[in-house]
């Protein structure tokens, strides 16, 4: 049974590792947490050897003493099951639990996440430790919930141990029943891959061309990994539900080859995420124009929200980051930690825990800083946490009941995400277009949601939005197309990019004109197509009825042919041998419109379409903001809360044509208002 009230109360907290510190520090640590306004700690997710120092011998004394002190200070506790880090006695005695790389290298003790999900022994031992911990803490007055494992599929999301090959074979037998069906689904007739015995079937293994497996097999591999991860997590979730039914259950994502939506629906009360906004600063493409940097986390938070409308940030960045062998992140500047905390909250977080209370003095993460430094003396990050704690002590309860509000959604689905990892003819485009749309929207202060199209997606889910952008759904099932047709018929606007609808769910190319299942909805066919990126000069597009350029026929061009009278050619190609041919079309379909954009979107082209559609910020009537400031809206029956987040180090000028109150300070704001560098206000 889901605990629907699990996130009803707003909480701020911190990750704490009592096992890393002299016991003499614990009480002072917990007392100071309370002084800062923190009310919850997460513990134990890597402490298996402490709970079970030898196989079958259990010890709870250390954590009992720590939890008693936490409780004495009024703190609540989230307990992590410790299965992300198997003990040395375990991996030594049962080496079959270890994960193996694609190239056959066994991964050993010394780091974390070196186990596989298929080993029955690992499942058995994980179940035992989970049950022991659940029994022990089920009635503890401080414990409120559980985190299963830690970051499923982080570090590595591929598994090639002997047990994984066996489990994959069983998964395929359940899915296909017969080898004929498997051979058909995997197109095994090509290059003589036909299987005549199940013993011949494996997960993809090294081939003469590095990592060039059969594409249909590669797609099934991802689906298997996802199902296998969920079934591993389910062992623990079931035990926790049975033994500690009053506690809630979550886990922290978001990582590859895992249908986190399904895992959340089937196993969890809500989803959790670990937010390190500087990852977006570090890993962006260095040639990218106008990178979003730390604001890029808002895009990921939209995905988290699509899994769980309100969620927890189990780890919020609170200092510079780095491992001993990885120099990752600079120190957050004054105000940035506060900005990132409100970024998480603005996007739906109802509980935020900083990672971590104090920087570790030993181990791989001695440079991954917490709020407190090694020396444990008050510092500026501790003071900043205290400011946030004081603000949320009064603002938190108003925020907790609200939900993020958006009228436009960017669509994705797992099949295309996973197929696109290997298929470079559409995979890279999805990320490019998604980002382009997100940037174009957020810089116009138009909040957007992410929506994953799944087998259970309903018309009602879609009708919450005026506009849906589904950039490159190469795999398009007839059922999905029918749902989108219904949405459009009833007045919705749907926008596709190139490479839509040419594959079925096995990843076979359809023998029908593109965009396949979406052809009727779009009223066009793709006459011809070509790759552009890296192969030829960029082409250009012009809006019809004039010479105005439509910026960006990027990366790939579908040359369109109009099939239906209801289609308007809104732009045409203006260069190369297909100059004059339709590039962008709009089909009036029922009460709505279906757009087909024959290329990959960039920020400028997404922006031009937004303007053609007349989409504006929901606060445009009373608020003018510079583009550095993000607008996010959370609302409930009592009305909207407008979060304004300044990602720039420079101050920003806002113009409020209506007086509003800042929930964080209680001040009334109107007219021209200066928002300091990295500043945040929440207007109600
Ligand atoms: C992840 C993990 C933490 C820690 C941090 C910093 O989010 O869950 O245990 O390793 O990263 O590296």
Q: Which pair of tokens denotes residue 59?
A: 């010890």
d(CA 449, CA 324): 37
Is the predicted pLDDT of residue 535 greater than 90, yes or no? Answer: no
CA distances from 605 to 4, 108, 550, 553, 629 (A): 41, 48, 6, 8, 21
Residue at token pair 């959604």: 409
Q: Which of 151, 221, 391, 603 is catalytic?
A: 151
Residue 394: which pLDDT band, with cuts at 50, 70 and 90? very high
Residue at token pair 């629906």: 265
Residue 6: which pLDDT band, with cuts at 50, 70 and 90? confident
Q: Which of 169, 178, 171, 176 is nearest to 202 (CA)?
A: 169
Pocket test for ligand 1, best of 254, 354, 355 (most atoms within 8 A of CB): 355
Q: Which of 45, 52, 221, 315 is catalytic?
A: 315
Is residue 201 within 8 Å of 400, Cβ to Cβ?
Answer: no
Residue at token pair 């009334």: 668
Where do the domains of the chain lie, and which CATH numbers do they carry?
A: 4-158+229-400 (3.20.20.80), 408-612 (3.40.50.880), 623-683 (2.60.40.1180)
Is the predicted pLDDT of residue 121 greater than 90, yes or no? Answer: yes
d(CA 230, CA 262): 8
Q: Which of 567, 659, 679 is nearest to 333 (CA)?
A: 679
Average pLDDT, rounded, for the chain: 96
* Ligand 1 center–CA 31 separation, angstroms: 25
* Ligand 1 center–CA 293 separation, angstroms: 20
Chain-centroid distance, C-alpha 305: 8
d(CA 56, CA 63): 18
Q: Which long-range contacts (CB under 8 A, 24 or more apart) does 451-456 make?
A: 451/306, 451/409, 451/410, 451/411, 451/412, 452/261, 452/303, 452/306, 452/307, 452/411, 452/412, 452/413, 452/414, 453/411, 453/412, 453/413, 453/480, 454/261, 454/262, 454/413, 454/414, 455/479
pLDDT of residue 456: 94
Residue 518 forms beta bridges with which residues?
Answer: none
d(CA 375, CA 363): 17
Residue 658: which residues within 8 A CB-CB, separation 6 or more?
Answer: 622, 670
* Ligand 1 center–CA 249 separation, angstroms: 19
Is residue 499 within 8 Å of 426, Cβ to Cβ?
Answer: yes
Atom of ligand 1 minimally distant from the CA of 315: 7
Chain-centroid distance, C-alpha 172: 28
* Ligand 1 center–CA 236 separation, angstroms: 21
* Ligand 1 center–CA 4 separation, angstroms: 28
Atom of ligand 1 minimally distant from the CA of 252: 8
Q: Which of 71, 51, 62 is nearest to 131 (CA)?
A: 51
Q: Which pair of tokens denotes residue 151?
A: 């970051």
pLDDT of residue 60: 98
pLDDT of residue 366: 95
Atom of ligand 1 minimally distant from the CA of 276: 7
Residue 334: which pLDDT band, with cuts at 50, 70 and 90? very high
Is the predicted pLDDT of residue 4 greater than 80, yes or no? Answer: no
pLDDT of residue 597: 98
Give the pairing type, strands 493-496 and 248-250: unpaired
Burial 381-412 (b: 16+ CB within 10 A, else e): bbebbbebbebbeebbebbbbbebbbebbbbb
Secondary structure string (H, E, C) spanning 289-349: CCCCHHHHHHHHHHHHHHHCCCEEEEEEECCCEEECCEEEECCCCCCHHHHHHHHHHHCCE
Is residue 147 within 8 Å of 79, Cβ to Cβ?
Answer: yes
Residue at token pair 């309903």: 458
Is the predicted pLDDT of residue 530 greater than 80, yes or no? Answer: yes
* Ligand 1 center–CA 262 separation, angstroms: 23
CB-defined site of ligand 1, < 6 Å: 150-151, 274, 315, 355, 365, 368
d(CA 503, CA 328): 39
Per-residue pLDDT tens for 294-318?
Answer: 999 999 999 999 999 999 999 999 9
Q: Is 591 a catalytic residue?
A: no
Atom of ligand 1 minimally distant from the CA of 365: 12
Is the predicted pLDDT of residue 370 greater than 80, yes or no? Answer: yes
Burial 155-177 (b: 16+ CB within 10 A, else e): ebbbbbbebbbebbbebbeeebe
d(CA 368, CA 358): 10
Pocket test for ligand 1, best of 82, 274, 364 (most atoms within 8 A of CB): 274
Residue at token pair 């994959």: 168
Residue 556 forms beta bridges with which residues?
Answer: 531
Per-residue pLDDT tens for 597-649?
Answer: 999 999 999 999 999 999 999 999 999 999 999 999 999 999 999 999 999 99
Atom of ligand 1 minimally distant from the CA of 323: 12
Per-residue pLDDT tens for 241-289?
Answer: 999 999 999 999 999 999 999 999 999 999 999 999 998 777 666 778 8
Q: Is 315 a catalytic residue?
A: yes
Rg of the chain over Cα atoms, rounded to whole angstroms, equals 26
Pocket test for ligand 1, best of 151, 300, 319 (most atoms within 8 A of CB): 151
Local structure of 603: helix, strand or coil? helix
Q: Which pair of tokens denotes residue 15?
A: 């990750």
d(CA 400, CA 136): 31
Q: What is the residue with the minimal CA distance to atom 9 of ligand 1?
A: 150
d(CA 566, CA 458): 26
pLDDT of residue 410: 98
pLDDT of residue 536: 82
Q: What is the residue with the minimal CA distance to atom 7 of ligand 1?
A: 274
Is the predicted pLDDT of residue 1 greater than 80, yes or no? Answer: no
Per-residue pLDDT tens for 460-496?
Answer: 999 999 999 999 999 999 999 999 999 999 999 999 9
Atom of ligand 1 minimally distant from the CA of 151: 8
CA distances from 360 to 371, 382, 384, 651 (A): 11, 16, 20, 35
Q: What is the residue with the minimal CA distance to atom 6 of ligand 1?
A: 368
Q: Which pair of tokens denotes residue 353?
A: 């825990």
Q: Which of 596, 379, 560, 388 is nearest to 484 (CA)?
A: 596
Q: Which of 236, 276, 12 is nearest to 123 (CA)?
A: 236
Percent of the chain with pLDDT over 70: 99
Is the predicted pLDDT of residue 684 greater than 90, yes or no? Answer: yes
* Ligand 1 center–CA 552 separation, angstroms: 39
Residue 412 forms beta bridges with which residues?
Answer: 452
* Ligand 1 center–CA 82 separation, angstroms: 14
d(CA 250, CA 264): 8
Atom of ligand 1 minimally distant from the CA of 45: 9
Is the predicted pLDDT of residue 405 greater than 90, yes or no? Answer: yes
Alpha-carbon torsion (184, 189, 193, 194), positive or negative? positive
Is residue 452 within 8 Å of 306, Cβ to Cβ?
Answer: yes
Is the predicted pLDDT of residue 211 greater than 80, yes or no? Answer: no
Q: Which pair of tokens denotes residue 41?
A: 């700690």
Report whether the peptide linkage leading into residue 596 is cis, meaning its omega lies within 30 degrees of zero.
Answer: no
d(CA 134, CA 205): 39
* Ligand 1 center–CA 352 separation, angstroms: 15
Q: What is the residue with the minimal CA distance to atom 1 of ligand 1?
A: 274
Q: Which pair of tokens denotes residue 465?
A: 């939005």
* Ligand 1 center–CA 153 separation, angstroms: 13
d(CA 610, CA 622): 20
d(CA 142, CA 247): 11
Quickly list H helices, 138-214. Answer: 162-176, 179-185
Per-residue pLDDT tens for 26-75?
Answer: 999 999 999 999 999 999 999 999 999 999 999 999 999 999 999 999 99
* Ligand 1 center–CA 16 separation, angstroms: 12
**From 278-287, 360-369, 438-447, 669-678, the region with the lowest mean pLDDT:** 278-287
Residue 672 forms beta bridges with which residues?
Answer: 655
- For the chain, what is the total number of helices (H) and then of strands (E)? 19, 29
* Phi/psi at 181 (5° precision): -70, -40
Residue 358: which pLDDT band, with cuts at 50, 70 and 90? very high
Residue at token pair 């609302």: 635
Across the range 521-538, mean pLDDT stands at 92
């Amino acid at each position: 049974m889901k605990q629907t009230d699990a996130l009803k109360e707003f909480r701020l907290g911190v990750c704490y590792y009592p096992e890393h510190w002299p016991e003499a520090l614990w009480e002072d640590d917990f007392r100071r947490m309370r002084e800062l306004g923190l009310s919850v700690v997460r513990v134990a997710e890597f402490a298996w050897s402490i709970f079970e120092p030898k196989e079958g011998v259990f010890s709870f004394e250390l954590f009992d003493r720590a939890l008693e002190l936490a409780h004495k200070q009024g703190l609540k506790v989230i307990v992590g099951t410790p299965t992300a880090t198997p003990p040395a006695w375990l991996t030594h005695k049962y080496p079959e639990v270890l994960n193996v790389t694609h190239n056959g290298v066994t991964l050993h003790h010394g780091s974390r996440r070196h186990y596989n999900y298929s080993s029955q022994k690992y499942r058995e031992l994980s179940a035992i430790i989970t049950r022991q911990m659940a029994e022990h803490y089920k009635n503890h007055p401080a414990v409120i919930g559980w985190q299963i494992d830690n970051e499923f599929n982080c570090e590595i999301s591929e598994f090639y141990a002997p047990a994984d090959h066996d489990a994959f074979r069983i998964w395929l037998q359940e899915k296909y029943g017969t080898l004929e069906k498997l051979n058909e689904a995997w197109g095994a007739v090509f290059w003589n891959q036909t299987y005549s015995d199940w013993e011949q079937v494996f997960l993809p293994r090294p081939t003469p061309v590095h990592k060039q497996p059969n594409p249909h097999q590669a797609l099934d591999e991802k689906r298997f990994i996802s199902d296998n991860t969920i079934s591993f997590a389910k062992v623990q979730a079931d035990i926790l539900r049975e033994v500690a039914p009053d506690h809630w259950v979550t886990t922290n994502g978001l990582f590859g080859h895992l249908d986190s939506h399904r895992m959340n629906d089937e196993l969890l009360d809500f989803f959790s995420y670990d937010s390190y906004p500087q990852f977006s600063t570090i890993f962006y493409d260095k040639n990218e124009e106008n990178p979003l940097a730390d604001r890029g986390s808002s895009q990921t938070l939209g995905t988290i929200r699509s899994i769980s409308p309100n969620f927890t940030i189990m780890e919020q960045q609170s200092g510079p980051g780095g491992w001993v062998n990885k120099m990752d992140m600079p120190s957050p500047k004054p105000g940035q930690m506060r900005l990132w905390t409100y970024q998480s909250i603005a996007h739906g977080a109802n509980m935020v825990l900083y990672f971590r209370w104090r920087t570790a003095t030993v181990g791989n993460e001695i440079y991954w800083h917490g709020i407190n430094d090694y020396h444990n003396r008050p510092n500026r990050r501790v003071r900043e946490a205290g400011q946030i704690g004081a603000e949320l002590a009064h603002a938190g309860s108003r925020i907790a009941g609200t939900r993020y509000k958006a009228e436009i959604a960017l669509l994705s689905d797992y099949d295309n995400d996973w197929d696109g990892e290997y298929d470079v003819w559409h995979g890279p485009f999805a990320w490019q277009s998604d980002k382009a749309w997100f940037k174009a929207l957020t810089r116009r202060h138009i909040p957007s949601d992410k929506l994953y199209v799944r087998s259970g997606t309903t018309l009602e889910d879609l009708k919450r939005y005026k506009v849906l952008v589904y950039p490159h759904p190469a795999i398009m099932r007839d059922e999905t197309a029918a749902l989108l047709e219904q949405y459009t018929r009833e007045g919705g606007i749907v926008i596709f990019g190139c490479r839509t609808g040419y594959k079925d769910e096995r990843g076979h190319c359809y023998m029908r004109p593109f965009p396949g299942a979406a052809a009727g909805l779009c009223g066009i066919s793709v006459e011809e197509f070509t790759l552009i990126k890296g192969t030829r000069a960029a082409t250009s597009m012009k809006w019809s009825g004039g010479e105005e350029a439509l910026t960006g026929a990027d990366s790939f061009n579908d040359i369109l042919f109009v099939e239906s009278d209801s289609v308007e050619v809104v732009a045409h190609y203006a260069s190369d041998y297909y100059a004059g041919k339709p590039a962008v079309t709009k089909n009036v379909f029922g009460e709505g419109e279906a757009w087909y954009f024959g290329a990959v979107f960039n920020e400028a082209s997404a922006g031009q379409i937004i303007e053609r559609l007349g989409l504006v910020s929901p606060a445009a009537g009373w608020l003018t903001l510079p583009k550095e400031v993000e607008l996010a809206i959370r609302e409930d029956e009592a009305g909207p809360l407008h979060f304004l987040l300044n990602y720039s180090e420079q101050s920003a000028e806002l113009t409020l044509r209506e007086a509003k109150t800042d929930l964080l300070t209680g001040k009334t704001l109107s007219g021209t208002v200066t928002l300091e560098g990295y500043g945040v206000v929440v207007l109600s």
